[in-house]
Amino acid sequence: MRPSPIAVHPETDQEEVARMVARYDLAALPVVDDAGRMLGVVTVDDVMDVLVEEGAEDVLKFGAVAQGQADETYFTTPITASVRRRIVWLLFLFVAGSITANVLRLFEAELEQVVALSFFIPLLIGTGGNTGAQTVSTLIRAMALNEVRLRDVWRVLARELLVGVILGFLLAIIAFGRAFLEVPMASLAITVALSVMAICIWANIIGAMVPMAARRFGIDPALISAPLITTLVDASGLAIYLLIAKALLGL
């Protein structure tokens, strides 16, 4: 007999119920009222349905797509509904993406002086986006499992800063070699290497801050984090690269 059984109330969030069943390895979880009277049970089968539903919802949110009806499938969803759920975020990201074009216009003179700088823009933007996406994915999973809470924000930032430094250093070594092989110019290779390191660190910090800030303001981190990270890191990473180039190459 368990004198103090683990139980939940009717208003307990279904994700929290699923976490409790997994954490305590339960076959069923009693549902009780405020007086402790039993109202029913949640079984492992119920939890599996919840996990599938929540997992599908999070995947859609990560792609900035609104959730449809529970019984909808890919082919039964009307085309108009699919467009409506995607267009809002795409418009927002389209407008935000114009920042990248503005950054390029701002440094147009520098790019004209050293055309080779443009060769490495896709590499740097891609590296920043991938680094930020990894951080966001890792952190959102930890937040969903209650491994990370809002009070852990400084620990998270410190941890991701250290991870960013290590990753950035390792990638910078590879970036230096690749840049030097493509354009045998030491100053340019150093610029690319330092930019890779700085962008990795910055992407990790942004990737940690955005989900925590979203949770702080009551927004689902899975909905906003991944698309916003890509847009922010693209524009800011490009600015970091060109500022470093301007300083090192004397442009």
Query: Tens digits of per-residue pLDDT, 165-180?
Result: 999 999 999 999 999 9
Q: Select the more confidently predicted residue: 59 or 184.
A: 184
Region 130-143: mean pLDDT is 86
Region 2-18: mean pLDDT is 82
pLDDT band (50, 70, 90) for residue 162: very high
d(CA 134, CA 131): 5
Q: Select the more confidently predicted residue: 89 or 215.
A: 215
pLDDT (0 to 100) of residue 196:
96
Q: Are 72 and 57 in contact (CB under 8 A)?
A: no
pLDDT (0 to 100) of residue 64:
52
Q: C-alpha angle with apex 246: 187 to 179, nearest 5 degrees? A: 35
Ranges of beta strands (E only) in the chain are 28-32, 38-43
Region 135-146: mean pLDDT is 82
3-state secondary structure 140-203: HHHHHCCCCCHHHHHHHHHHHHHHHHHHHHHHHHHHHHHHHHHCCCHHHHHHHHHHHHHHHHHH
Mean pLDDT for the chain overall: 83
pLDDT (0 to 100) of residue 171:
96
Per-residue pLDDT at 50 exceeds 80: no
Per-residue pLDDT at 213 exceeds 60: yes
pTM equals 0.71
pLDDT band (50, 70, 90) for residue 200: very high
* Cross-strand pairs, 8: 31
Closest CA to 97 of 236, 250, 248: 236
Closest CA to 200 of 170, 239, 225, 180: 170
Task: For the chain, list the domains and their CATH numbers.
Answer: 14-62 (3.10.580.10), 89-249 (1.10.357.20)
Per-residue pLDDT at 76 exceeds 80: no
pLDDT (0 to 100) of residue 69:
53
pLDDT in tens, 78-130: 788 778 777 777 777 777 677 777 888 888 888 888 888 888 998 898 899 88
pLDDT band (50, 70, 90) for residue 20: confident
% of the chain at pLDDT higher than 70:
85
